[in-house]
Amino acid sequence: MTILLTGIGLLATQDAELGEIPEAALVIEDDRIAWVGAASSAPAADERVELGGRAVVPGFVDSHAHLVFAGDRTAEFAARMAGMPYAAGGIRTTVAATRAATDAALRVNLARLRTELVRAGVTTFECKSGYGLDVATEERSLRVAREFTDETTFLGAHVVPPDIDRDDYLAQVTGPMLDACAPYARWIDAFCEVGAFDGDETRAVLTAGTAKGLGARVHANQLTTGPGVRIAVELGAASADHCTHLTDEDVDALAGSGTVATLLPLAEFSTRSPYPDARRLLDAGAAVALATDCNPGSAYSTSMPLAIALAVREMRMTPAEAVHAATATGAKALRRNDIGSLTPGRRADLVVLDAPSYVHLAYRPGVPLVAEVWQSGTRVA
């Protein structure tokens, strides 16, 4: 079965060789991209879909999200908006609600958030645990997450819960909790930050996880400068996420490595914190991705278009750089080579925008421009 999408005003492939193609078309065969090019040269297909001059980009890749939880933190958000500074300790509120929730309740909430993500153009998303902080709840969180995505991350090292000694908890995270969670996870992560885990603890957690065959990711340098970025690079982590407070050495380390700097501007937006300096990272040669960081405490949004608009307005990215960060580099942050660009042979994940160009994602912030979402060759929204 082949489908020809034609009448594309601008096809932003995110492929270095194919580039951006005006007045374009593409052919889907089963679940893959089979052909892209000028509409005037399009081959015949079994079905034809006319897009009326709309722009098309790859499906967004959300490489950092916390979607398995119960409850919300409305009061904490209101307090921040009234002047209270953000700190990592609020996570414990969500832990209590998540431990008390049934699997069915966690599943319903995650399904709701997945629907929001898809409507916002996200066709691949990562999902972390980290709101259980005991063996049973971390394991079932990842079990539930695995029903929705293959990109699951064990984040037992989120914060230390109040009901256990710090050293004892670290031993759990690197021992029985890891053993229980590894079968349901692709990645291991740690929150390397004041109020969470220090450098030595982070290294111990990630080393234990990689010994189990999990890939490494790091919550790094969100609230202060610290060792998170350098540990991520040292251990060959796929990504260092947040990267809000960086030294020159951190920037140089990222630029000289295969570790992606994943920036999460919705967190800064929701906490009234300084935004990361994407321009500094890009100019140094670092790979920069964008993700939502959707979570109930510091970034309760599933809007990748808003993340793109904030990256352009607040982080000095061009619209082209921001879209690339939300697609091709997001795929790189997950070490995926089957998504993130509209290249023949890759999965047919794409977003049709109700606009002639992707620039409108930043030009018209807050406007629902996602007209259609195609996932594996099928229209899903």
Closest among 139, 116, 247, 267 to 191, alpha carbons compared? 267
Query: Which pLDDT value is given to residue 115?
Result: 98
Give the C-alpha separation, 343 to 250, whole Å. Answer: 33
Where in the sequence is the domain holding 293, given as residue range(s)? 60-333
319 and 362 in contact (C-beta within 8 Å)?
yes
Q: What is the pLDDT of residues 205-243, one digit of tens each?
A: 999 999 999 999 999 999 999 999 999 999 999 999 999
Question: Is pLDDT above 90 for 77?
Answer: no
Average pLDDT of the chain?
A: 97
Q: Buried b vs exposed e over 209-235: b needs ≥16 C-beta within 10 Å?
A: bbeeebbbbbbbbbbeebbbbbbbbeb
Q: What are the two backbone dihedrals, phi and then psi, of residue 241, each rounded to the nearest 5 degrees?
A: -110, 140
Residues 35 and 151 occupy one common structural domain = no
Reading the block at residue 166, the tokens are 């710090």
pTM of the model: 0.97
Residues 39 and 173 occupy one common structural domain = no
Reading the block at residue 300, the tokens are 């309760």
Q: Is 235 helix (H, G, I), strand (E, B) or coil?
A: coil
Give the C-alpha separation, 303 to 110, whole Å. Answer: 15
Residues 278 and 155 occupy one common structural domain = yes
CA angle, residues 239, 197, 131, in degrees to nearest 5: 80
Q: How many residues does the chain have?
A: 381
Residue 19: which CATH number? 2.30.40.10
Query: Which pLDDT value is given to residue 117?
Result: 98
Give the C-alpha separation, 136 to 41, whole Å. Answer: 57
Residue ending a domain, among 298, 316, 333, is 333
Reading the block at residue 349, the tokens are 């994940």
Residues 314 and 371 occupy one common structural domain = no
Average pLDDT over residues 83-103: 84
Residues 221 and 297 occupy one common structural domain = yes
Residues 48 and 191 occupy one common structural domain = no
Average pLDDT over residues 82-100: 82
Q: What is the pLDDT of residues 171-210, one digit of tens each?
A: 999 999 999 999 999 999 999 999 899 999 999 999 999 9
Query: Which pLDDT value is given to residue 87?
Result: 63
Residues 186 and 272 occupy one common structural domain = yes
Average pLDDT over residues 18-42: 98
138 and 129 in contact (C-beta within 8 Å)?
yes
State percent of the chain over pLDDT 70.
Answer: 99
Residues 85 and 223 occupy one common structural domain = yes
Could you give the number of structural domains in the chain?
Answer: 2
Question: Is pLDDT above 90 for 67?
Answer: yes
Residues 133 and 186 occupy one common structural domain = yes
Residues 14 and 92 occupy one common structural domain = no
Query: Which pLDDT value is given to residue 236?
Result: 98
H or E element, residue 254: helix 248-255
Residues 308 and 358 occupy one common structural domain = no
Residue whose token pair is 């414990």: 92
pLDDT bracket for residue 156 (50, 70, 90): very high
Closest among 56, 60, 33, 220 to 125, alpha carbons compared? 60
Question: Is pLDDT above 70 for 85?
Answer: yes
Residue 257: which CATH number? 3.20.20.140
